[in-house]
Amino acid sequence: MTDTAAPSYAPSYVDPARPPRRKSRLVRGVWKFLVAIKDALVLIAMLLFFGVIFAALNARQSTTAIKDGALVLDLNGSIVEQPEEQAAFAALSGQSRARQFRLRDVVRSIDTARTDARVKVVVLDLDSFGGAYPAALGEVGDALARVRASGKPVLAYATAYTDGGYRLAANASEIWVNPLGGTIFMGPGGNQLYYKGLIDKLGVNAHVYRVGRYKSFVEPYTRADQSDDARAASTALYGTLFAQWREAVAKARPKAQIAQFMTAPDKVILASNGNIAEANLRAAIVDKLGDRTSFGRRVAEYAGSDANKPAGNYTAIKYDAWVKANPLPTAGDSIGVLTIAGEIVDGESGPGKAAGKTIEKAVLDGLAKKTLKALVVRVDSPGGSVMASEQIRLAILEAKRQKLPVVVSMGGLAASGGYWVSTPADVIFAEPGTITGSIGIFGVIPTFENALAKIGVTSDGVKTTPLSGQPDITGGTTPMFDAIAQAGIENGYRQFVSRVAASRKMTPARVDEIGQGRVWDGGTARQIGLVDRFGTLQDAIDEAAKRAKLDPAKVHAEYLEKKPGFLATIAQDFGNDGDDDAGGGDAFAHVAADRRQMLARAVGDMKRLATSGSIQARCLECGGMGPTTVGIGDAKLLDLLLARIGF
């Protein structure tokens, strides 16, 4: 009998290193799906990238010749010395901001329109105007006045004019306002935010080291209100600049009865039953009430129109096309123009910020070509890092070592570090409305020992010297460190004073007397010796040519600045290509937008407090008279904050 083996019911052996076949298929399927998504996204991004490039290049190539019509200055943003560089494809991601117009381009476009027969009328669209510093407003206003004086009409339109917008519109032949809008003049000034209460609640200690009785930039971090000294300085500055505004408006438009809108606007408006536009018309502040269609018909009387297009159309010459059609001259000897615009910062940066290393390289590269006959330094800055200011000053001195004349042209703003970099000048030009001075420096170091203590966090450790670990942001500073830091600030102030004294041929005592962080208007600055002459950038270029023994009519300006990159150029062309006729809202909408800008600046200020680490020469009062639009960084930070809290 043969034994038969019993069937085995034991499970077969499974290799633990080998996953089940079904699980392996699932993983492979998911992986293929993810790879497919990745490939699709890459393909979409590439198509979008090349599509935008094609659109931008095609837009350039299809630029038509300038035809007779109305030059439209749709100033839907602020006028600045040097626009910030827009990030590539920012418009596609919804991150585009109010536009910034380069001052010299705006002035050149107006001046060329005055003598060009193709331009039948200049249209000034100020519905979304973001403002400019008083000196810039004066320069653009003067250019518009020249067009009007030549007999060529200038027509202005807005739903509601800001103070800065009306400074320009006053030079127009006709001022139009929407019947449902109207203008209320605000005047300079207003409340400044103070963060002392917030800082105390958060448990942050702001250690401030400063020199200058009027150096008020640090006050928002140390006080809950404005000091008497800061109030007196601001009152004097704003009062002078406001007087200049009233004088300019009265000169450009003598019939405008603006006084009553300054002293008792409620009575004037109530007398018109709340109809602000009608009150403006009665006071000759505006000439016509009408919507955009009516305004367009009026422009068409000069510029012509297309019968096949909707009512209110007229033949328009776009601003960007006009600027490209009228480039800067290039004939003759080269006068270098160095632009120092925006906050002065350490390291490198793009346009709109004055980075020490970037500007130093621009100067040295320009001088290395050996083609420059003189150097004009155009300053439009509230100051910033002392280290970067000195780096820029030394680079400018290199031009003097090469025996080149150096002329400074102050724009709307040349204060604190902006004045520091002006000290190498042989002669300084400014405008009566230029904001300058603020000779003083400070430093702020925040520490968080109290904030950490609130959540039960403390710090301790071994110190090998009295300064080990200082400044300690988690444990606070020591009296010894504070004394050393204050001594360093005082030494920096003495250096600032000595540079100004040597440049302006004053005694250090006199510079200290007019320094102390005090901010001056250009007219007063000239009286006390901080400025030599009144004049524009072109006046400064002409003076530099004369000092180089050249004929001013036979030179050209060579701007020593980094050219926009390829992607940045595409972003600019793409962002400026569309037509946007959306109104800027009524007078109350303008006020609301201005308050939002103020909030964005406050958020940015808090960020700068938390990240500041260098000695600063910066001006606080300077922001109150400038453009209402803020930097791209502050605006993005506010958007992020509002998104986080659900707005």
Q: What is the dihedral of CA 129, 132, 135, 139, to 10 degrees?
A: -40
| Angstrom distance (rounded) from CA 47 to CA 31 | 24
Cis ω before 471 (30° cut-off from 0): yes
| Angstrom distance (rounded) from CA 582 to CA 203 | 45
**Which two three-digit tokens encode residue 290?**
């009408």
Q: Exposed/middle/buried for 563, CB within 10 Å: 0-12, 13-18, 19+?
A: exposed
| Of 518, 537, 521, the residue nearest 433 (C-alpha) | 521
**One-letter amino acid identity for 368?**
A
- The yes-or-no answer on residue 215 being catalytic is yes
> How many residues can be counted in the chain?
647
| Angstrom distance (rounded) from CA 412 to CA 431 | 8
| Angstrom distance (rounded) from CA 500 to CA 514 | 11
| Of 111, 106, 117, the residue nearest 74 (C-alpha) | 106
Q: Which residue has the tokens 């950490």?
A: 452
| Of 261, 313, 292, 310, the residue nearest 177 (C-alpha) | 292
Q: Exposed/middle/buried for 441, CB within 10 Å: 0-12, 13-18, 19+?
A: buried
| Angstrom distance (rounded) from CA 647 to CA 639 | 9
Spot the catalytic one: 305, 416, 438, 612.
416
Spot the catalytic one: 109, 128, 152, 215.
215
Q: 530: Cβ–Cβ under 8 A, 6 or more apart, which residues?
A: 419, 428, 436, 437, 500, 504, 514, 520
Q: Which residue has the tokens 């080269």?
A: 334
Could you tell me the CA-to-CA distances from 497 to 513, 527, 529 in Å, in that order?
10, 18, 14
Please give the distance of CA 274 from its chain centroid, rounded to a whole number: 35
Q: What is the 3-state secondary structure (H, E, C) of 136-205?
A: HHHHHHHHHHHHHHCCCCEEEEECCCCHHHHHHHCCCCEEEECCCCCCCCCCCCCCCCCCHHHHHHHCCE
**Which two three-digit tokens encode residue 522?**
């250009």
**One-letter amino acid identity for 637?**
L
Are 106 and 125 a contacting pair, CB within 8 Å? no
- How does DSSP assign 513-543, residue by residue? HH-TT-EEEHHHHHHTTS--EE--HHHHHHH
Are 499 and 506 a contacting pair, CB within 8 Å? no
Which residues carry out catalysis? 215, 416
